[in-house]
Amino acid sequence: MKVVILKYNAGNTCSVAFALRRIGIRPRISRKKSVIERADRLIIPGVGSAGSAMDFLSRHRLCALLKDIQIPVLGICLGLHLLCAESREERTRCLGVFPDRVVRFQDSAKVPHMGWNRVYGMQGPLFADLPAGAFFYFVHSYFVPPNSRTVALCDYPGPFSAAVAWKNFTGLQFHPEKSGPAGRIVLKNFCRRWKNDRKP
């Protein structure tokens, strides 16, 4: 299993790599197209701003590759936002894998949403072996509203997408690398071979 973590200006790249090593996966951190094209799994980490991240991906000519790649892809936090069509953060046009707009929490909510929160309505093999209402760790000010591609939900104070999936792409709003045993299960599920690799 060749797992590649996309190397760009994201703040949680090393913590994702450490989390994978704890479950027996030795990832490679790279932005080289030749490395990404030979991968079995690709993880797009994310702590930072949408505008800066998209500028980096554009300058390094990675946008088309990331949109068209056929292997299972996991976007984490900002990585989820980059897979969407647009983010209200800095009015950023993103990759457009998901036709969704990323929006900011209302002023009535304490921002950022930080800490442990319950995730419910989990669907799909990524969440296999997890109890209903498992807790995960969040740090974010922007989110994807619930839609037809939502495969897990969280409330803060109203519902938002904790996970979004379409074809071979899945985006998580929470940080599995900081979510203890539940996060380890999610990463294990992503890295194992499913019967149909193109539909995680």
Contact 190, 4 (CB under 8 A): no
Q: The tokens of 167 are what?
A: 């074809």
Contact 115, 138 (CB under 8 A): yes
Contact 75, 169 (CB under 8 A): yes
- Omega before 112 cis (within 30°)? yes
Residues that are catalytic: 77, 175, 177
Gap between the Cα atoms of 40 and 71, Å rounded: 6
Select from 194, 175, 172 the least CA-distant residue to 184: 175
